[in-house]
Amino acid sequence: MIFHKCFKICSLSCTVLWVTAISSIIQPDKQQEKDELSNNFISTEQLLDISEKWKASEWNNMFNHIRNEWEDFYLVLQNDERNILQEKHSNWNEWIQHLENKWGNINENINPEYKTHLLHISLTWNEKQWEHWAYNTLKYFLENDWNIFIQEITEEINTHIDQQWIKWLHEKNSMWLSNDWIIDENSFWEKMIKLDSSKYAWTQDVKQYWIKWKERTNHQNFMWNNWIHIKTK
């Protein structure tokens, strides 16, 4: 994820400098692209006189707001988990009945090879020997069913939480990137790179703005990804 913001232009004279720089790096056969970029640049002039300090403030305000919203979102996830567990608990008797039906006819629910062996050795068993088998071998089969049941519940909860978490992050990211001044900045740099991807013909001023933009967005990405990493531990 890349967060984009608008670049700083201190005065109308700087605007003229930018347009001049653009003209110097574009070949005549790209006149249409140059005009489009210049017109877009000038039409958004009111958005360009924004300091790096203001940009940092906007980011910090947004980031702090999201961290506060996370507390409420976490409570929602906990409530969802309780609801899933409550639903499974209400089906507990149904699951027990299923287990009883499953093992009511043991001949249909054990490995064929083991069934043959069991039938052979149990021909002469008395009640005590059958009880011993039930408390040991049958217990193993029942515990295995129980573990599968718990695993299915855990996977359902984890899947739900992961889906909600990804959706929530996407919504917050989209809200940030939908700011008009971020869209304008992103559009400007995309066009600049398209016209001269090597940046060789960029003026020193343009390169300085580019460096500030990259440093700022890289820092924001680091903060965002690090925060996500901490929350997903």
Say what the pLDDT of residue 115 is. 54
* Highest mean pLDDT pick, 103-107, 117-121, 179-183: 179-183
Task: Read off the pLDDT of residues 117-139 as tens digits, 9 standing for 90 and up.
Answer: 566 677 777 878 777 877 777 78
Whether the predicted pLDDT of 208 surpasses 70: yes
Question: Mean pLDDT, the chain, as a whole number?
Answer: 76
Q: Measure the CA–CA gap between 4 and 178, rounded to whole angstroms.
A: 10
More confident residue, 88 or 43: 88
Chain centroid to CA 22: 37
* 12/45 Cα distance (integer angstroms): 8
Instruction: Note whether 49 and 8 are within 8 A (CB).
Output: yes
Name the residue with higher pLDDT: 138 or 156: 156
pLDDT in tens, 4-37: 333 333 333 333 333 443 344 345 455 455 455 5
Q: How far is CA 13 from CA 16, 97, 137, 203, in A?
A: 5, 82, 87, 15
C-alpha 91/C-alpha 105 separation (Å) is: 22
Q: What is the pTM for the complete model shown?
A: 0.68
Q: How far is CA 76 from CA 49, 144, 160, 165, 172, in A?
A: 41, 32, 12, 11, 16
Q: Name residue, tokens 């930018």.
A: 18
User: Rounded to whole angstroms, what are the CA distances from 105 to 17, 126, 138, 205?
Assistant: 87, 19, 12, 83
* Distances in whole angstroms, Cα of residue 233 to Cα of each of 4, 84, 155, 227: 27, 22, 17, 10
Domain residue ranges in the chain? 12-231
